[in-house]
Amino acid sequence: MTVTRKLLLPLALTLAIAACSKPAEQAAAPAADAPAAAAETAPVADAAPAAAPAAAAVQIASGTYKLDPTHTDVLVQWSHFGFSNPSAHFGNADGTLVYDAADVTKSTVEVTLPLSGLNTFTAKFDEHIKSADFFDAAKFPSATFKSTKVEAAGTNKLTVTGDLTIKGITKPVTLDVTVNGGGEHPMAKVPAAGFDATTTVKRSDFGVGAYAPNVSDEVKIRITTEATGEKPAA
């Protein structure tokens, strides 16, 4: 019996050690695989978005263009006591654009806005705004703009500085211009060009600052225009 116990005791210890060691090994196995599992479950970073293609430069043929009054809109907008933002439209624009494609700085523009084409969309206000309180249209029948400098400001962008005359008062104004299109007009079959422009002026600079600041002194101006040239000689 003593011999048997001596033989069984080492065997029992061996089995106990083996039994204790297996869970540790099994527990360690997943840890070794953890990086691979994490790599499989980790979210894939989004690829960097492709850069937008650069805008193509609009090509406008050199020449003299006349503004098309039916597709020219000059809108002015102001704040009324901070409650609303009314607008008015200057129609019947008459103007000439001389464009130099080789050297845009040699380009010029002249525009006349007859106050007979001023429309506030309210007949009663039309009468008031054309009165001596504001534009005094009977004495000063038109507003004019004449460029003094044209500069490139990036692809399809121009900066046009010029003299704005309202009520006999002339002040410098700078327009931020976007070149919309150029080429042959699909209907008229003549060279054509189109532009948008924006600027901000103070009414009080031109003697039409009545009721400021309740009616905002600053007025935002937005312009869109088409101009057409003469049909090229055959």
Taking a C-beta distance cutoff of 8 angstroms, is the pair 103, 64 a contact?
no
Tell me the C-alpha distance between 147 and 162, whole Å. Answer: 4
In tens, the pLDDT along 46-77 reads 666 776 677 899 999 999 999 999 999 999 99
Q: How far is CA 211 from the centre of its chain?
A: 31
Identify the pLDDT of residue 8: 41
* % pLDDT > 90, the chain: 74
When pLDDT is averaged across residues 134-151 and rounded to a whole number, the result is 98
In tens, the pLDDT along 93-131 reads 999 999 999 999 999 999 999 999 999 999 999 999 999
The rounded mean pLDDT for the chain is 85
Taking a C-beta distance cutoff of 8 angstroms, is the pair 67, 227 a contact?
yes
Identify the pLDDT of residue 53: 75
Token pair, residue 16, equals 């106990």
Identify the pLDDT of residue 87: 96
Identify the pLDDT of residue 59: 95
Sign of the four-CA dihedral 82, 129, 139, 170:
positive
**Confidence class for position 194, pLDDT limits 50, 70, 90:** very high
pLDDT higher than threshold 90 for residue 193: yes
**Confidence class for position 42, pLDDT limits 50, 70, 90:** low
Who contacts 97 (Cβ-Cβ below 8 Å, separation ≥6)? 64, 65, 66, 67, 107, 108, 109, 193, 227
Taking a C-beta distance cutoff of 8 angstroms, is the pair 232, 216 a contact?
no
**Confidence class for position 230, pLDDT limits 50, 70, 90:** confident
When pLDDT is averaged across residues 31-60 and rounded to a whole number, the result is 64
